[in-house]
Amino acid sequence: MNKICYTNTGACFEGCVLGRAGQYCNKYNLAYNQTANIFPVGQSNAGLSVDGLISTCIIFSSTSTSSYLQVEFESLSAITTVHIVFGRDKTTADDEHAVYCSNTTDKWNGGTLLYSGLHLDTDIITFSVCKYLTYVPPTLSGKNLVELCEIEIGGCPYRRYGDKCEHVCSENCLGQGQCDLISGNCLSGCSDGWVGEKCDEVSNPGYSQTMPDRVVIASDSSYALPSYDEAVGNMYEDVNYRTPRATKGTQ
């Protein structure tokens, strides 16, 4: 919040300004002020985990595999970073923390597993597209608890890019797919008739990328490529035509 960072790594240690995510606070935060729920319900105010403040934490226990915290985005989103800020004193260090990305709220464990292991102070790097992100803590017993202060999810709503996700990917990206979140370059190529990194340039009619660079044949042309022998013969005819043979007596 006060732009304080570790001098050796540059990582922020007092949290990000509202709406930013990641240990360097350099991502747009998809989770900020979104819908968050803890299951089973009633344990704590899940909204504190997405309010953008690492000073407001929630404490909950996990005594079964059905205990989890889930964040719902406004729309389908492309995720590149997950950063979870835990309380330093109460959270178990067991290596069974898991993070899933899914498109359904009730079958999250059938989605994409983004991480499984010890709780981290660093970013979880990924590239996934989904509607829900689910954090599953270790199954605990006794007095062990999970203290979660903030869950930050870096990325952009699907088909948007830019520092604040203010730009829309080109509609000419193949399949109207996702583009790079920083540059806006299409990730899966271009639709027919378009070229360029952002697929914003019209290609020449009939152009085939499988042909040599200088060979462009119009699609409505009846011209047929000559055979190799014909091409060589034509080449020599052309040379002979342009450069007459020297004859005796000529200088």
Q: What is the pLDDT of residues 28-56, one digit of tens each?
A: 999 999 999 998 876 779 999 999 999 99
Q: Which long-range contacts (CB under 8 A, 24 or more apart) does 225-231 make?
A: none
Kindly state the percentage of the chain with pLDDT values over 90. Answer: 53
In the DSSP assignment, the letter for residue 69 is E
Residue 24 located in a structural domain: yes
Residue 140 located in a structural domain: yes
User: For 102-119, what is the mean pLDDT?
Assistant: 90
Domain containing 192 equals 161-239
Question: Do 71 and 119 fall within a single domain?
Answer: yes
Q: Are 77 and 86 in contact (CB under 8 A)?
A: no
User: For 202-227, what is the mean pLDDT?
Assistant: 44
Mean of pLDDT over the chain: 79
Residue 219 located in a structural domain: yes
- 10 Å CB burial of residue 151 (0-12, 13-18, 19+) is buried
Which of 7-21, 53-67, 193-207 is modeled with the greatest confidence?
193-207
Q: Cβ–Cβ contacts within 10 Å for residue 92, how many?
A: 18
Residue 11 located in a structural domain: no
Q: Are 27 and 19 in contact (CB under 8 A)?
A: no
Residue 239 has pLDDT above 60, yes or no: no
Return the minimum-mean-pLDDT range out of 133-147, 149-163, 167-181.
133-147
Residue 196 located in a structural domain: yes
Which distant-in-sequence residues (6+ apart) come within 8 Å of 86 by Cβ? 119, 146, 147, 148, 149
Q: Tell which of 143, 158, 173 closes a domain.
A: 158
| pLDDT recorded at residue 169 | 97
pLDDT tens by residue, 163-214: 999 999 999 999 999 999 999 999 999 999 999 999 999 997 655 433 333 3
Tell me the chain's radius of gyration from C-alpha atoms: 29
Residue 1 located in a structural domain: no
Q: How many domains does the chain have?
A: 2
Question: Do 148 and 43 fall within a single domain?
Answer: yes
| pLDDT recorded at residue 228 | 38
- Dist CA 22 CA 12 (whole Å): 9
- Dist CA 141 CA 133 (whole Å): 25
